[in-house]
Amino acid sequence: MTQSLGRPAARQEGAVLGEPRPSWGQSLRSLVSVHSVAGQVFLLQLTLTVLLVVAAGTALVLQTRDFAMKEAAQRSVATAEAFAHSPGTLSAMKSTDPGAVLQPSSEAARKAAGVDYVVTFNRAGIRWSHPDPSLIGKHVIGSFAPALAGHTMTATFRTSVGPAVNTTVPVIDTDGSVVGLVSVGITVENVNAGVSDRLPLLLGSAAGALLIVTAGSVLVSRRVRRQTHGLDPTELSRMYEHHDAVLHAVKEGVLITSGDGRLLLANDEAKRLLDLPPGAEGRSIADLGLAPHLAELLVAERVVTDEVHRAGDRLLAVNVRSTALYGGPAGNAVTLRDSTELRALAGRAQSARERLQLLYDAGVRIGTTLDVVHTAEELADVAVPRFADVVTVELLDDVIRGGEPSGDTTEMRRMVVRGISRKDVFYPVGELIRFAPLTPMAQSMGNGHAVLEEDLSEVGGWRTQNPERAQLILEHDIRSLISVPLSARGVVLGLADFWRLESTGPFEPEDLSTAEELAARAAVAIDNARRFTREHSMAVTLQRSLLPGALPEQSALQVAHRYLPAEAGVGGDWFDLIPLPGARVALVVGDVVGHGVRAAATMGQLRTAVHNFSSLDLTPDELLSHLDEQVARIDADVARDGDGAGIAGATCLYAIYDAVTGRVTMASSGHPGPAVVRPDGTVTFLDVPVSPPLGLGASMPMETLELLLPEGSRLVLYTDGLIEDRHRDFDTGTELLRAALTSGVDRTPEETCADVLDAVLPGRPDDDVALMVARTRLLDPGRVAEWAVPSDPAAVATVRSGCLRQLDAWGLDGIAFTTELLLSELITNAIRYGTQPIKVRMLYDRNLICEVSDGSSTAPHLRRAATTDEGGRGLFLVAHYAERWGTRYPPRGKVIWAELSPHAGEQELVPDLGDDFLDQWVEPEI
């Protein structure tokens, strides 16, 4: 009934669709009458509403009364038939006194059914029962002939109780004859009383409807006032005339289309942008000569926001909104904006934005690793396909190896080819290429700037490199090239070539700056990777020189080892195997926190110190105590020199295995304990008493762990890089190691190393990994001989004789004389200077080991005796004829040992000395 001010034309057209459309000003001014007649419309609407409500209420009352009469008739019929067909009714009517039986039952039925009367009478019409006893025995009112014929009869007539709806039902005997009749009635007064009871509800409903309609009319009137903002017709007319002028003055096209695809309104700008013919308004959009896609868009049933479409030589930004969504009739409101120049500017801005995004991505993605080749690959991955269709990268061989580039050669090795699947179009990866002087590659390397070839098919200099391959490149539609040197700090490291297909379009001069920026970022990253490669190679070389190459030969253990440097660079993990006298072997594993040359150098210092302390044959706890003091001194020296931080976080585990007893003794300074795999496959992680890391012990005492291992047990020593990294904790790595060791019961140490690394080693280790697996062996008891020596010089000859017999049994006659000489001297010294118990032990392993132990801790000293001295020559003889000799200190006493090679042959002595020479030391009675 009313319409929004914002859509007058669309509203009006909905009323006269298909007719010639008046002008925009006339359409707007036609709405002014709405405001002036609003009051009259409201009064007319209210009058009609009252009349309609009264008529509807009257009809509803009559309908209700009719329904009540029908309901009364149905109830009377049901009650009469129920009473007539009751078994007691027939027998009562056939009895000698029907009234006496029927009167109480009739009254009971009347009250139960809620009717006004239940009357029974005979065929003659004489009543047997009646609510009024005075009427019993009298004739009924009215005719009941149809009932005597056996039919139910219902009618409304005046009865003894007034007008009523009456139903008469015959009572039929078994032979089909009518015995009597039953009449049931409901008075009209009672029917009207029911209707009267409903009348307030009906009148209330009518009044409510009237109130709702009246309120609706009031709201509509107020809405009209609100939409017109309370303006009088003059003001409203002036406002719409102003809107009409503005609509045609704006530099944006405005169109209104109807739901059936007709043009309802087009302002001057829209007619100009679309080049509409005269009289276009009112015609179908399809008949206006517009491009199909544009005509379809103007009547589209979807929301369109700033979609750019071509209309002739213009680019129009089109917006479409449905008028139905805002209360108007079906149709669209369309705005058009000429964006031809804006589109060109936006294209240049988008291109600049894409270039900036490309350079940003290059800064993020190039140089993620310190690997020269991978960095070159990252440059190609960033540029393809966003900047070029194909990218090739060449580097100098010196750069690949981490060396300093010479800068005086055009010979390079291809490292990357990206963007083309065929391998024969460009030089393959790994090919060494020397660029010809006329090629863009050689020119860019010569002048240090990018060289552009917009159309390769029109220039010939680049063909001089390889005409056949150049033709193959052109056959694959590659038409444009930018060659850029990879330069850092004024030195050329390599070359990046960007290629484009003909379908992509050629490179333009403004692309040169982008190519140079990409190459500059990549060159810095490649140079950093080159420097790292050089330093890494130096550190690896240093580390390899400091780590053990081939482990020394020994018989106590079967050993395998692995060392894997971290991807971030070499570190300070190390391991070692040190043979000790007495068929014993020391196992060492340690870790210096950090990476690089300093960590490797520190590792070398610690390894050297361990070797030096091992030569003193110290126990594990003593050795680590000395090593802790050594680290503390190194840190103090570094602090005095002001040369950076000292050794921080160094750990070490030192273990000694005795092949004679099968006993292993170990101590730890901050290092995780080893795992032991017993011959039955049981895996145990030893709980070695852990002291603080090296340099932090503060002279604290260290504890040792002693363990007896069965032959064939595997002792697994490792650094924490094997089981711990950023992605898993220590316990998880330990369980993985346990599972790997449990699964290979009969594996050799070499196989165990391989199994452990496959199962436990992280995918990208953050730290160095040192692993050593040692399978224990026991020295054959038949190769061990031992004697107790009393404190009597005469016992020397007896022990010496036993030793000679044992040497004969071992087949060592060739060194019997030398052994006899050495043992005689050592035993004599023990008797003369030592205390009980004195023991002699010979071990036949790879060498013959002679040991003499006593209970004193005095250390023998080698010295040169003068010609006038009576003694002092014994240890000189021991040092001269033994391959090695030394002293070690068990928990009680000392052991002096000497090793002789079984293959050296008998040492040649002074012939004329013979036994007299020996007897002067071992036969005091002489």
pLDDT for the residue 41: 55
The CA distance from 844 to 808, in Å, is 12
The CA distance from 793 to 860, in Å, is 19
pLDDT for the residue 710: 94
Residues of the chain short of pLDDT 70, as ranges, are 1-43, 45-46, 57, 191, 193-199, 201-203, 206, 217, 221, 224-233, 236, 240, 327, 341-349, 407-408, 543, 567-570, 596, 638-639, 641-649, 697-699, 861-874, 904-926
Rg of the chain over all Cα atoms, to the nearest angstrom: 60
How many residues appear in the chain? 926
Q: Compute the half-sphere exposure of residue 551: CA atoms within 13 Å on the CB side of its CA.
A: 23
pLDDT for the residue 414: 92
- Crossing angle between the packed helical segments 597-615 and 511-546, to the nearest 10 degrees: 0
pLDDT for the residue 281: 85
pLDDT for the residue 778: 94
Eight-class DSSP state of 326: G
Going through 295-420 in order, the beta strands assigned E by DSSP cover: 304-311, 314-322, 331-338, 390-395, 411-418
pLDDT for the residue 244: 72
- Determine phi and psi for 731, rounding to 5 degrees: -65, -40
pLDDT for the residue 631: 85
Please name the helix (run of DSSP H) or strand (run of DSSP E) that holds residue 162, with its range, or none: strand 162-172
pLDDT for the residue 749: 93
Does the predicted model carry a pTM greater than 0.75? Answer: no
Give the number of other CB atoms < 10 A from CB of residue 696. Answer: 18
Cα–chain-centroid distance for residue 220?
Answer: 60
Contact 769, 595 (CB under 8 A): no
The CA distance from 513 to 807, in Å, is 88
Give the number of other CB atoms < 10 A from CB of residue 285. Answer: 22
Q: Where are the alpha helices (DSSP H) in 289-339?
A: 292-298
Contact 774, 579 (CB under 8 A): no
Q: Tell me if residue 17 falls in helix, strand or coil.
A: coil
229-242 as b/e, with b when 16 or more CB fall inside 10 Å? eebeeeebbebbee
pLDDT for the residue 42: 61
pLDDT for the residue 388: 92
pLDDT for the residue 925: 33
Eight-class DSSP state of 695: T
Residues 6+ apart with CB under 8 A from 611: 576, 578
pLDDT for the residue 686: 93
Residues 6+ apart with CB under 8 A from 635: 646, 647, 695
Task: Compute, in degrees rounded to 10, the torsion defined by CA atoms 226, 227, 229, 232.
Answer: -110
Q: How far separated are the first and last CA of the chain, in Å rounded?
A: 152
